[in-house]
Amino acid sequence: MIVQNQQEKVPVPESLTSLAERAAAVVLAVLGPKQETELGITFVDDAAIKMLNYRYRGKDEPTDVLSFAMNETVQEGEREVLLLGDVVISLETAARWAIEEGRDLHQEVAQLVVHGALHLLGYDHETAAEAARMKAQEEEILRLLG
C-alpha cells in the first residue's frame, strides 16, 4: 500500500496512515486476487476532489471518496504485481461527516478506504441489490479490522 497526503487542512497522524494501510490490506486479504497486489491511497482536500469529481464524473461538488481502477499487471524484478488502482479521499469531507455522524475521523477514513477498495474490486451500489451486497462486505471488513 502506498499512502500519500496531498493536503494540509486536516492533520494526518501516523495512526491514520497506518489505519488506512491496514484497512486496505484487510480488504485485499479477504476479497482480493491471489497475486501480489498494490493499491494507492491519497488524501486530498475538497478543492482537489471536487476537480476530480467534475473531471471524471461530471459532478461539480466535493465528495468523500473516489476510486480509479488500473487493473494492470507489472513486472517488478522477478515478481508480477497487480496495480489495482487508487483510492482518493477528501479528508475535509471525511472530517465533516465524522462530526455529523458522531464518529472519530479514524473510523470515517477506515470506512472510506474499505468502500473505495471495494469499488476497485468491482463492487458498486447502483442498484438496491448491489448496494446491499457492498454494504454487507463493508461491515464484515470493518468488523475484521476491529
Binding-site residues for Zn(2+):
115, 119, 125
| DSSP-derived pairing of the beta strands 79-90 and 65-76 | antiparallel
Contacts by 104-110 with C-beta closer than 8 Å and gap 24+?
Answer: 105/10, 105/16, 106/15, 106/16, 106/19, 109/16, 109/19, 109/20, 109/23, 110/19, 110/20, 110/23, 110/142, 110/145
DSSP E strand stretches across 1-146? 2-5, 37-44, 65-76, 79-90
* Cβ pair 88, 45 in contact under 8 A: no
* Cβ pair 116, 137 in contact under 8 A: no
